[in-house]
């Protein structure tokens, strides 16, 4: 049994989208503790260079390991997963470091029947071609079609999870992906904001398309890794600490949309990295 068993799991995102991953982790691990760090001072990562994103991610990971003694790190950000994950896994090799891209890619490759997968994500993630590379590494015969859907991020952060405007924007984005004869039969929600729109996306697509969200798949992969390394908690209690690199007020106001509960002010701490 490792001395790290009862240490917290670190979850890192550039902002609040990773809260969908945290919520899935809460459901999967009722006795684990977590530290969630949102680099809100430098959001969005999607407009930054790969080098800058990697530097930010190294700083965040170092902060969580040095000051919070985490036993595992979940990079709950598609852009950081795309650009920084190999560097983080090499530099911080004493703990498991997991991203959000490969778990979803694995689930999609297993699910597709016609070997055609669609990915919707932010512009930065689409430009990185991270999902194409991950899927090709698993099965080079699978076709991947991507679509940048950055406006969906704003809808989620405004709390517009349903309604006519939301449905029309979803239709506008997805129509071009699913209008051909050989349409994808599997869709990856390649942004951690998008699971909150999954019901409306599934409603538009119907039952012929299997929709995969990163949150649940990352939680499943985390369970597998912690079991494999014998790092599961031995405690019956849990806690979550929230850290932000900018003012906590906006984070607290928006977190309710993602978590379904209001965070107390004293649970969110401003830090510098």
Q: What pLDDT digit, counting tens, does each position of 198-213 carry?
A: 999 999 999 889 999 9
6-43 pLDDT, tens per residue?
899 999 998 899 999 999 999 999 999 999 999 999 98
Tokens of 208: 């012929």
Q: Which of 25, 61, 121, 191 is catalytic?
A: 191
Q: What is the structure's pLDDT at 55? A: 95
> Cα-flanking dihedrals φ and ψ of residue 35, to 5°?
-125, 120
Nearest of 131, 172, 127 to residue 151 by alpha carbon = 172
Same fold, 9-99+217-270 and 101-214: yes
Where are the extended beta strands (E) located within 169-252? 186-189, 210-213, 240-244
Q: What is the structure's pLDDT at 165? A: 94
DSSP code of residue 5: T
Q: What is the structure's pLDDT at 123? A: 86
| Annotation says 191 is catalytic | yes
For 244, how many CA atoms within 13 A lie in the half-sphere containing its CB? 22
Where are the extended beta strands (E) located within the chain? 9-13, 34-38, 72-75, 97-98, 116-121, 143-148, 186-189, 210-213, 240-244, 268-270
Q: What is the structure's pLDDT at 132? A: 96
Q: What is the structure's pLDDT at 2? A: 58
Type and span of the H or E element at 78: helix 78-91
Cα 237 to Cα 4: distance, rounded to the nearest angstrom: 16
Q: Which of 76, 77, 105, 121 is catalytic?
A: 77
Q: What angle do CA 71, 131, 28 make, to 5 degrees?
A: 35
Q: Name the stretches of the chain with pLDDT < 50.
A: 1
Q: What is the structure's pLDDT at 181? A: 63
Nearest of 42, 129, 14, 37 to residue 82 by alpha carbon = 129
Q: What class, spelled out in words, does domain 101-214 have in CATH?
A: alpha beta
Contact 152, 173 (CB under 8 A): yes
Please name every residue paired with 243 in a beta bridge, in sequence order, or none if there are none. 37, 269
- The topology (CATH level 3) of 9-99+217-270 is Rossmann fold (3.40.50)
| Annotation says 149 is catalytic | no
Contact 76, 47 (CB under 8 A): no
Domain boundaries, the chain: 9-99+217-270, 101-214
Cα 184 to Cα 96: distance, rounded to the nearest angstrom: 33
pTM of the model: 0.91
Tokens of 257: 């949309």
Cα 5 to Cα 110: distance, rounded to the nearest angstrom: 31
């Amino acid at each position: 049994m490792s001395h790290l068993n009862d240490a917290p799991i670190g979850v890192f995102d550039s902002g609040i989208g990773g809260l969908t991953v945290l919520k899935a982790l809460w459901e999967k691990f009722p006795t684990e503790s977590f530290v969630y760090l949102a680099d809100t001072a430098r959001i969005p990562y999607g407009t930054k260079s790969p080098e800058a994103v990697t530097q930010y991610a190294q700083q965040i990971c170092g902060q969580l390991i040095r000051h919070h003694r985490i036993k595992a790190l979940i990079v709950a950000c598609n852009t950081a997963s795309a650009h920084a994950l190999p560097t983080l896994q090499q530099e911080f090799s004493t703990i498991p470091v997991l991203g959000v891209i490969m778990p979803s890619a694995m689930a999609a490759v297993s699910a597709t029947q016609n070997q055609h997968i669609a990915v919707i994500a932010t512009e930065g993630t689409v430009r990185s071609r991270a999902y194409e590379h991950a899927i090709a590494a698993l099965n080079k015969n699978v076709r991947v079609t991507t679509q940048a859907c950055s406006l969906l991020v704003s809808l989620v952060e405004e709390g517009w999870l349903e309604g006519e405007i939301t449905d029309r924007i979803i239709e506008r984005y997805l129509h071009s992906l699913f209008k051909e004869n050989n349409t994808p039969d599997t869709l990856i929600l390649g942004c951690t904001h998008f699971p909150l729109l999954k019901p409306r996306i599934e409603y538009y697509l119907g039952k012929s398309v299997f929709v995969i969200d990163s949150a649940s798949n990352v939680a499943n992969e985390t369970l597998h890794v912690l079991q494999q390394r014998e790092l599961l908690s031995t405690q019956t209690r849990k806690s979550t600490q929230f850290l932000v690199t900018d003012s906590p007020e906006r984070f607290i106001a928006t977190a309710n949309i993602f978590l379904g509960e209001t965070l107390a002010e004293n649970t969110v701490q401003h830090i510098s990295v």
